[in-house]
Amino acid sequence: MSREFINTRSLTNNEKSMKKISIPKIICGEVIESSPAGMHEIEYSNGVCVCIPKLIDDDLEKIYKNRSQMHHLPLSDITRYLQKSGQALANAQDPFRERAAELGSLVTGLSPPMIHRDFKTISSYLKHRNVIYDLLDAELGDHAMMDEWVRNQVARVRAFPRGRALHVLVGNVPIAGLYSIMRSIITKNHTLVKLPSRDLITSLYFCLSLLNENESTHPVSKSLSAFYCERNSGKMTELIKTSDLVCAWGGGSAIES
């Protein structure tokens, strides 16, 4: 799949004057720039408007029928996949990191150096594969149980993915979204990222970097979706009901919903 659709250019003069930014959605690793249902237009108090394609029934059908074999994928393949993006994002001049900082600062009000710092932090996890193994060792006891049965006294134990994990992200802490996505991938889940209206940029560009640095046919690429839909919409309700796991970030009302 061609990666020419991934926009890493600087803002045009027209965008700067109108402050209107178009971004894609991602469905099962496919980057989609338009929708027959039209675009969500999220306006911010500083005059910036971000446009992202609306979810349609075909998108949900693709997600439900996704047969990416994440549970059969060795952990070593996943860490190599993440490492490629981590190495790219470690560079402050990486086009995805630069674009995320440029657009993210317009949307969130955070300064570009703050967003760069978050990408530098996540890249330090991804580019050193042993850090991911250490994380799993600390939380599960042994990273090997992601791939095989591991002896624990008189028993053998193994960790299996839950399946389809919906991540309802928070918009005021960009790095929280990056961590949530990373942890979903290393535990071999299908990752659905519901982008927060307060920050449609940071987590999306992290996902775009993952896709850009790896093959479109890779199981991790095909397991990754990122989109926006309203909190109380029918499609959001359906996604919650049909997911095996929901990772929700945010305040009390968001968590209750």
Q: What is the pLDDT of residues 133-181, one digit of tens each?
A: 999 999 999 999 999 999 999 999 999 999 999 999 988 899 999 999 9
Which residues are paired to 50 by β-bridges? 21, 42
For 238-244, what is the mean pLDDT? 95
DSSP secondary-structure letter at 144?
A: G
Q: Identify the band that residue 68 occupies on the pLDDT scale cut at 50, 70 and 90.
A: confident
Cα–Cα dist 211/42, whole Å:
25
User: Which segments of 109-233 does DSSP mark as H helices, in order?
Assistant: 112-126, 129-140, 174-186, 202-212, 219-222
Q: What is the pLDDT of residues 6-41, one digit of tens each?
A: 444 455 555 555 588 999 999 999 999 999 999 999
Cα–Cα dist 85/24, whole Å:
19
Distance of CA 229 to the CA centre of its chain: 15
Q: Identify the band that residue 211 occupies on the pLDDT scale cut at 50, 70 and 90.
A: very high
Q: What is the predicted pLDDT for the residue at 7?
A: 46
Whole-angstrom distance between the N-terminal and C-terminal Cα of the chain?
37
